[in-house]
Structures are given as C-alpha cells and as structure tokens.
Amino acid sequence: MSLLIRHRHVLAVSLVVVGLVFVLSFNAVGIVAQDREATVSATAFDPATEPETLESDHTVYVVDTGSPLGDEPREAVETAATDGEFDGEVSNAQAQFFATDSYEYVVFDGAVYAFESTVDGESVTLEFDERDPASAASEIAAPVDEAESAARDAIETGEPASTAPGTLENPIVETNGEFYAVTPDIDPGMALTTVIAPITTILAAVGVAFVITGGWLFRRFQAGEVRPLTVRRGTVLAAAAAPGMLVVSVLFRSGNSPMWVVVGTALAVASGLLLVAGVALARERLWRLAATLLGGPALLLAAGLVAAVLAGPVEGVMGVIFGAFGLVVVGIFAAPLVLVGYRFAVSGEPALADGQ
C-alpha cells in the first residue's frame, strides 16, 4: 500500500490546514490594505517657470511628458502653437491627445495654450490660444476653501495629510496668489499590498478547494473508505468550491469589485477540477480528462463575461487577463489535487477497508 494510502488521514488534515493558511493570507492582506491610510502632499510652484506642473490637473496635457507624438501630430501641434491654428490631415489622428474632449489646455515648449480641436477621421483642426501661465493656472486651480480638507491641511502645515484613497478632485489649489500642486504620496507598503492582493486571491481560491476536498476525504476515511473518489463526487466537490469562495469573499473582502469576486470564484472551481482530472486519469477516462482540463479556461471566459455585465467591459477584459494568470498559479499550487484524485480514485474493485 502506498505511503499516501497509509497516511491518508494525515493527508486530509494537511489539505485542510494548508487551505486555511491560503485563505487566511487572503484575509491578512485585506486587513493590511484597510489599515493603511493614503496621504497627500502640497508643493508650491510658479506657473511661469514650471508650467508642466499643471499636468496634475486632468484638463491639462503636457506634450513633452505625455505619450510621444509622431512626426505628423507634433508638426500639427507646432503649427498651431506658432500660427494659432492648424487645419490639415494627420495620420492616426484618432489616437492622439487632441482627439479626446478631456483636455482644455496644452503645455508645449514652456508655454500654456487654451485649445480646441475637431477631429474627423484623419482631418484635424486645432486652435491654440497662448495664455499667461498665471492666468491659466488661476482658471484651472480651485480656491483653497473649495479644496479637499486634506489638501488644505497639507498646504497649511507643509506636512503630508491623511485622506481617503481615491482620485483628488482638486490637484491644483490657489491661495493668496500662490499655487500648490497636491499629489498623492507613494506608499511602498500599499504598492506591495496591491501587487500581492491578486496572488492571495488566487491562493484563497486554491485554499477553498483544499479545505473542501480535505474535509470531505477525512469524513470518508473515518467511515472506512480508502478510495472514495469518483468523477461525479469530484465534480460535486469542485462545484462546492464556488459557494465556498463566495463566502470567503464576503467575509474577508466585502468591498472587492465584482471582477475579483467572480474570477476568484471561477478559479476556486478550476482548482477543484484538478481533483477530477486526477480521478479521470486513474480511471483512464481520457475524454473526461480532456473535458476537465478545458473546463478551467471555459470557466474563466464565462467569468470575464459576467464581470463585463456586472462592472463594464474594461473589468471583463481585466477579468480574463487576471484569470489567465490565475490558471497558471492554480496549476502550480493546486497540482497536488491531481495526485490526490489519482491515488484515491475508486478502483474497479471494492474500496479497501482500514487495515487491508
């Protein structure tokens, strides 16, 4: 009898313990993220000598620090800056900054311009009106009494001020004729948490599959069964990972976007399907093995569609990308389930009892 068979109870408990560790890592990262506070700092600047600082505001585009322009778009901007207007054709015009309605000002070669644009296919009309940098800054900036409280605190104290995470509504603030750029501070710990969070989501999905599989196997072993797994039972266990992951998401990350919840749930089921793959391999059910291995990618595509419906197409695309990465991680960390499925699959003979 193999080592796994002899120590099957230890194996079942180990699956539960490792699974709980994975799930708790998911919870720990969530707690760390919630406990961290975002801060902002305010830096005084002179629009006349530092007009590029106005880029902090979403209505300002700085040509020299934005996405590099090709020859034709840059020539169009240079012509508009020199002559006040450009009217002509620009290749790939729809991909340029002037094709959007987001910007009202352009900073080019140290000068500030109010601008308007009309883009129709590759036909482009640009109108540039050079503005005094201080006047433009006054139009862009928010008065200090209208700025967020964190921005006011940072300006008054000269020290970073705590704020809720999110986008600043007033990144340029004016007070007593002076201008301040208010910017979020980079927190290395928060950045690391942001990187680790997706990994722990995947590990939590694997952990849920481990806990469900280990708990079920322990009960069957206690009942005297040695090889209790069938394809049908494995499929039920894999499906049970879905509500399990949903419960974990609600308990530990209730503020998660729908994309993380949906894709995490799909990854939990995909982890459980590796158990089914092991059983199918042991039983030489090759068509079921193939169907099981294809089930993971199919689930992730479906999860991406659900995320797109719930949160929009961008979230859907992100879900598919994250899911593809997640499948690789699942394939590494949940691989033991293939071996478990293979070793504890029901054989053609009656299941062995304890001691046999």
Digit-coded pLDDT (tens) for 221-261? 999 888 899 999 999 999 999 999 988 888 776 446 677 78
Q: How far apart are CA 139 and CA 22, in angstroms?
A: 52
Could you tell me which residues are beta bridge partners of residue 89?
A: 123
Helix (H, G, I), strand (E, B) or coil at 281: helix
> What band does 356 get if pLDDT is binned at 50, 70 and 90?
very low
Q: How far apart are CA 20 and CA 3, in angstroms?
A: 24
**Phi/psi-derived region of residue 42, left when phi > 0, alpha when psi is between -120 and 50, beta in every other case:** beta
Q: What is the pLDDT of residues 267-321, one digit of tens each?
A: 999 999 999 999 999 888 888 888 888 888 888 888 878 877 777 777 778 888 8
CB atoms within 10 A of CB 304: 25
pTM, to two decimals? 0.60
